[in-house]
Structure 1
Amino acid sequence: MSSIPSLLRDRITATPDAEAYRVPSDEGWSSLSWREVGERVRGLTLGLARLGAGPGTRVSILCSTRLEWILADLAVLSTGAATTTIYPSNTAEESAFVIADSGSTIVIAENDDQVSKIRSVRKELPGVTHVVVIDGSPADDGWVITFDSLTEAVSEGDPQAGYDEMVDAIAQDDLATLIYTSGTTGRPKGVELTHDNWLYAAGAVREIDLISGADLHFLWLPLSHSFGKLLEVVMIDAGVPTAIDGRLDRIADNLGELRPTVMAAAPRIFEKIHNTVAANVRREGGAKALIFAWAKRTGIRVVRARQRGVSVPFTTRIEYALADRLVFAKLRDRFGGRIRFFISGAAPLSQDIAEFFDAAGLTILEGYGLTESSAGSFLNRPGSVRFGTVGQPFPGTRVRIADDGEILIGGRGIMRGYHGLPEETEAALKDGWLHTGDIGELDEAGRLSITDRKKELIKTSGGKYVAPTYLEGRIKAACPYASHVFVHGDRRNYVTALVTLDMDVVRPWAEAESLPADPRELREHPRMRAEVEKAIEQVNAGEASYTTVKKFAILAEDFSVETGELTPSLKIKRKVVEERHGDVLDSFYDSPA
């Protein structure tokens, strides 16, 4: 096949009546077959074509994760146009930049609120001819039309007319997606990804035999992010049904209801699950807390023995079986009891978190890729996971470590370039390799370990390099009450940290201990500081002296996408945090540590 729409067409031919997608409904969940998906995509394709979508054009999608996002994307691609993705959390100005820079002529918006956002910057978007609203009302001026009206406009004619011709005309090297990297610094850049980029990544997943049609995939990740988009294409290729619900507050309930076998997530979700469980057990105290702590120690002992390739003593196996019955089996049940594995990407996963989940029989396959490499380049394989690494490269992906430690990637998954930015493209694709900006190393089996971001490594005034994200992940794993940790110390004489609280986890503990529930008061309370300090000291004990955190502060408010401190994929924007909390950071160095 030569394109994503032709991949969909092949899937419909192969398994027309198999379940394709499952979505929330008034009755619980309802399903669509691949045949039904094809019918809806055809109608939307013809409607978008009548609005002017076609080869060489772009259509922006401003919408949360839901079925209509995927249907819209597949329809845009079927016209020969390319999809430009926008996070629904983006401001009007941020959205206007992406729409204008990409040259989008049509915007598909989720609801009236998103339409209002676009209308407020309409003067900056003279090239936009129509806004299509999924859940909303049309406008009298005809600029805003409804999603349903796209198919109504063609219902009187032949629903097949023209569709196959449009799909057949799409070439592998045609632009499929423009994804603007949120980035932790600077203005976003539009990454140009072709149909062949996505087809390669999906084929690589098939080649490593990761999933099958017997799986049920639960998707909540932002489809505006390259990780979510990759999962969309992978599941079409494999014929795996996907349950879709982008509501973050429904993840836990949906896992119990759907009983999926596969789910991908960013590390923050696994941290949240671990911290919630640990905090709840700690709050209950007594025998439950003692049993949980014993089970965790026993499980991690077994996991580490397996990682070293040594046999687990008989007595330890007996203890682990008991720990599984008393603790870990209950945790698996909370996730539906059928999870074969989780997939983690988009940011580094703490090894401590990975070991805990593996001990519970909920293995996390950590992977690695950039938007510039179609999201997927490396992945740990089931049965051969090595924690602390992101696994081996996808089949067909080449990797090299530069003299300065930077990871270089080559292969069919690498982007065409940055949209309208030839100098940045040349720098990123120098000498035929994608320069990732990440520092790493390869082991004897070809597994990649990420040390840190090249631009984010801290160099203390003493000349020592410190990897902040590594320390941040360890501290979060050690402190169930921490939401985010920001490690600081570049050109300073020692390392310090900012800590934010996860109030969903902290509040029940604070109420049970008769402590203030207001984070502004709680952050300075001796009990709260003692909990954070205990976690930091635990991490410090295993680190070289120059990497240890000497001082810390608990902030009154968590980092968020809305405040600009996090990217939409929940990575910390380090420069923004340094600017917003510069006074606190500077105060750490007013007196000796």
Structure 2
Amino acid sequence: MREFSLPALYEVPADGNLTDLIRRNAAQYPDVPLLARKRDGAWEDVTAAAFLAEVRAAAAGLIAAGVGTGDRVALMSRTRYEWTLLDFAIWSAGAVTVPVYETSSPEQLTWILSDSQAVAAVVETDAHRADLESVRERLPDLAHVWQIEAPAADAETTEEPTALAALTAAGAEIPAATVEERSSAANADSPATLIYTSGTTGRPKGCVLTHRSFFAECGNVVERLSPVFRTGESSVLLFLPLAHVLGRLVQVAAVMAPIKLGHVSDIKALTEELAAFRPTLVLGVPRVFEKVYNSARAQARESGRAGIFDRAADTAVAYSRALDTPSGPGALLRLRHRVLDRMVFRKLRSVLGGRATHAISGGAVLGERLGHFYRGIGFTVLEGYGLTETCAATAFNPVERQKIGTVGQPLPGSVVRIADDGEVLLHGEHLFTGYWRNEQATAEALADGWFHTGDIGTMDADGYLTITGRKKEILVTAGGKNVAPAALEDRMRAHALISECMVVGDGRPFVGALLTLDEEFLPRWATERGRSGLAHAELLADPELLAELQLAVNHANEAVSKAESVRKFRVLPTQFSEESGHVTPSLKLKRGVVAKDFAADIDALYGD
């Protein structure tokens, strides 16, 4: 058993709640643009004082509607300025935010709102409103529904005002003193939010995160990563779902620091918005950074500059690796790096807005080579690890002592323990207090004062954590070999052609894999190889394509022993997606669903 901790860098307030942050900002930085919103296609700054005024106006409307202290209010929307405004407005009304993914089905919506006993909901679009209305009779506690976007011109509710307009009008007669009193109603140990887990198996559980959880989490993150949270200099563009705890971490941390915060609703417009907003800090998941790299390499190939790009990538990796040596990069490597910076690296950084120097990445493993590549081009990706139950990051790499290939050291003020069976156990103020109305699940997860994550990991002498897989996902082959799928899957997914994969082999004679192909890169590959005229089924059986995929499998196998390596793979003609029911909104595989739906394909791997 190994244990490691770091002293806290931030003292959680004995009392108070998260609304104290926006009041402090308005008092200390009233005219500083700490947020930005999109209006008529252009970015518009919002000062700290203006943001507080909008929050108070919306909170007054919630109070006027009868939302009481401790009541739950659902918020279903894409990432956008109004999400953050309404989140703080709900807290300012003394209530509790219940985020809902904007892609959630009516059935998921019903469960979350009924289980949380939400008394009100804010949705974004006509489609969301229609989904909610279709199950309204199953939600007896739900008294109010507001819509962020104006209804479509042909909708029956054309005359209905937007959520913010309706709330502002409804709260016009509520005294400022009443809003102020309600804003102070919650204390540090009051619930701030119920975040429902993605639910890879069974119904999602509502994680209760308190104001203390966010103070402990965000306060220590901001202090440990202070070089990237510089008031007046730093900015972050948020495009991950705010229904996910990682998005909420960055939202609250930006307000706490404070640094300028912007939102992007449409991931397809991310490149354009990065160029327009020009953040210094980017939040992402490994798939985003893999896409940026793969797209740049594909463009280089198409323009006949693949050789230059590959040499530049090798130089970036070598330069980054040398930074971890006592002597640092040699003179020749530094010269080559300077030349390639002008030719290649500067252009790559411009894709990320041109000013960004750091990114925070979570959700999966980035991969050591890609981590070194990004640091080598002057854009450091700091990997971390966490769960909904840990209020996002429970470990992360510090700016000044990064260890690429790990998820970093424990959050200051918390403890990480590796149990005898390899499970990662956690202790700290940032942890959730339990699952909403589910005492049995709470008792199982928070046993003996420690949160049992279900993840398997290792920790070095300096406290740097490496996650190797999920305890429940460990496969045991017919030969008795234990196999952690994540180690293989993360490396296979790094290949440009592979969108998703699932390693199989539990009770089978060897390890196999199901692969789905990337819808963007497959046509590019086909065009480059002169196979664009092939039917989709023919393309998936093409020997050259299968040989390319075998290289990705071989690369994954380098990380494991021969007994754990993937012996066969099968390409599926479809995608694992949220719409198909095979991944959660946070992009975790629903392994049981995949195994059931593709049982014939799995059997075919072992048919010969």
User: 2: CA distance between counterparts of 1:141 and 1:126?
Assistant: 26
Query: Which ranges of structure 1 fall in alignment gaps of 5 or more residues?
Result: none
Match of 1:230 in 2: 249
Match of 1:409 in 2: 426
Note the C-alpha offset of 1:310: 4.9
Q: Secondary structure at the match of 2:131?
A: helix
Matched, 1:74 2:88: yes
Contact 1:62 1:86 (C-alpha < 8 Å) held by counterparts: yes
Contact 1:215 1:241 (C-alpha < 8 Å) held by counterparts: yes
Matched, 1:211 2:229: yes
Following TM superposition, the consecutive aligned residue runs of length 4 or more in structure 1 with deviations greater than 6 angstroms are 138-145
Matched, 1:89 2:106: no
Match of 2:64 in 1: 50
User: 2: CA distance between counterparts of 1:93 and 1:502?
Assistant: 29
Q: How does 1:436-475 map to 2 (within 5 A)?
A: 436-475=453-492
Match of 1:492 in 2: 508
Contact 1:184 1:571 (C-alpha < 8 Å) held by counterparts: yes
Contact 1:131 1:143 (C-alpha < 8 Å) held by counterparts: no
Match of 1:113 in 2: 127
- Which of 274, 297, 306 aligns to 1:278? It is 297
Output one character per residue of 1:317-362: Cα deviation in whole Å (capped at 9) or x when no partner: 3223333332222211222221120100122222232122122221
Contact 1:134 1:148 (C-alpha < 8 Å) held by counterparts: no
Q: TM (normalized to structure 1)?
A: 0.95
Note the C-alpha offset of 1:75: 0.8
Match of 1:171 in 2: 187
Q: Secondary structure at the match of 2:473?
A: coil
Match of 1:196 in 2: 212
2:279 corresponds to which letter in structure 1?
Answer: P
Matched, 1:372 2:389: yes
Contact 2:64 2:171 (C-alpha < 8 Å) held by counterparts: no
Contact 2:195 2:206 (C-alpha < 8 Å) held by counterparts: yes
Q: How does 1:256-271 map to 2 (within 5 A)?
A: 256-271=275-290
- Which of 332, 340, 343 aligns to 1:326? It is 343
Match of 2:240 in 1: 221
Q: Secondary structure at the match of 2:512?
A: strand
Pair 183,354 (structure 1): closer, same or farther in 2 beyond 3 Å: farther
Q: Secondary structure at the match of 2:546?
A: helix
Note the C-alpha offset of 1:504: 1.4
Contact 1:23 1:245 (C-alpha < 8 Å) held by counterparts: no
Deviates more, 1:311-320 or 1:546-555: 311-320
Contact 1:58 1:84 (C-alpha < 8 Å) held by counterparts: yes
Q: How does 1:381-392 map to 2 (within 5 A)?
A: 381-392=398-409
Pair 454,133 (structure 1): closer, same or farther in 2 beyond 3 Å: same
1:339 corresponds to which letter in structure 2?
Answer: A
Matched, 1:243 2:262: yes
Contact 1:365 1:382 (C-alpha < 8 Å) held by counterparts: yes
Contact 1:372 1:414 (C-alpha < 8 Å) held by counterparts: yes
Pair 317,140 (structure 1): closer, same or farther in 2 beyond 3 Å: closer
Match of 1:21 in 2: 35
Match of 2:4 in 1: none
Output one character per residue of 1:251-289: Cα deviation in whole Å (capped at 9) or x when no partner: 11211222110011111111211222223333444xx11
User: 2: CA distance between counterparts of 1:169 and 1:483?
Assistant: 47
Pair 322,519 (structure 1): closer, same or farther in 2 beyond 3 Å: farther
Pair 40,5 (structure 1): closer, same or farther in 2 beyond 3 Å: same
Q: Secondary structure at the match of 1:446?
A: coil
User: 1: CA distance between counterparts of 2:88 and 2:384?
Assistant: 26
User: 1: CA distance between counterparts of 2:354 and 2:159?
Assistant: 50
Match of 2:452 in 1: 435
Match of 1:546 in 2: 563
Note the C-alpha offset of 1:45: 0.4
Q: How does 1:119-130 map to 2 (within 5 A)?
A: 119-130=133-144
Match of 2:442 in 1: 425
Q: How does 1:514-553 map to 2 (within 5 A)?
A: 514-516=530-532, 519-541=536-558, 543-553=560-570
Output one character per residue of 1:439-470: Cα deviation in whole Å (capped at 9) or x when no partner: 11111111111111111122222222222112
User: 1: CA distance between counterparts of 2:121 and 2:475?
Assistant: 41
User: 1: CA distance between counterparts of 2:460 and 2:342?
Assistant: 36
2:258 corresponds to which letter in structure 1?
Answer: G
1:16 corresponds to which letter in structure 2?
Answer: P
Note the C-alpha offset of 1:216: 1.1
Deviates more, 1:95-104 or 1:560-569: 560-569
Deviates more, 1:317-326 or 1:174-183: 317-326
Output one character per residue of 1:343-386: Cα deviation in whole Å (capped at 9) or x when no partner: 00122222232122122221100011111111121110113211
Deviates more, 1:419-428 or 1:11-20: 11-20
Match of 2:9 in 1: none
Note the C-alpha offset of 1:159: 5.7
Contact 2:81 2:262 (C-alpha < 8 Å) held by counterparts: no
Contact 1:131 1:144 (C-alpha < 8 Å) held by counterparts: no
Q: Secondary structure at the match of 1:48?
A: helix
Match of 2:7 in 1: none
Matched, 1:556 2:573: yes
User: 2: CA distance between counterparts of 1:332 and 1:249?
Assistant: 18
1:466 corresponds to which letter in structure 2?
Answer: V
Q: Secondary structure at the match of 1:455?
A: helix
Pair 489,278 (structure 1): closer, same or farther in 2 beyond 3 Å: farther
- Which of 22, 46, 51 aligns to 1:8? It is 22
Contact 2:235 2:280 (C-alpha < 8 Å) held by counterparts: yes
2:569 corresponds to which letter in structure 1?
Answer: F
1:586 corresponds to which letter in structure 2?
Answer: D
Match of 1:181 in 2: 197
Note the C-alpha offset of 1:112: 1.3
Deviates more, 1:226-235 or 1:573-582: 573-582
User: 1: CA distance between counterparts of 2:175 and 2:291?
Assistant: 47
* Higher relative contact order (CA closer than 8 Å, sequence separation 6+): 2
Note the C-alpha offset of 1:222: 0.4
- Which of 340, 349, 354 aligns to 2:366? It is 349
Q: Secondary structure at the match of 1:108?
A: strand
Note the C-alpha offset of 1:33: 0.8
- Which of 163, 176, 179 aligns to 1:160? It is 176
Matched, 1:104 2:118: yes
User: 1: CA distance between counterparts of 2:537 and 2:369?
Assistant: 29
Contact 1:57 1:104 (C-alpha < 8 Å) held by counterparts: yes
Deviates more, 1:305-314 or 1:326-335: 305-314
User: 2: CA distance between counterparts of 1:178 and 1:401?
Assistant: 28
Contact 2:64 2:174 (C-alpha < 8 Å) held by counterparts: no
Q: TM (normalized to structure 2)?
A: 0.93
Match of 2:10 in 1: none
Contact 1:130 1:144 (C-alpha < 8 Å) held by counterparts: no
Contact 2:92 2:183 (C-alpha < 8 Å) held by counterparts: yes
User: 2: CA distance between counterparts of 1:542 and 1:390?
Assistant: 17
Query: Which ranges of structure 2 fall in alignment gaps of 5 or more residues?
Result: 1-12
Contact 2:364 2:490 (C-alpha < 8 Å) held by counterparts: no
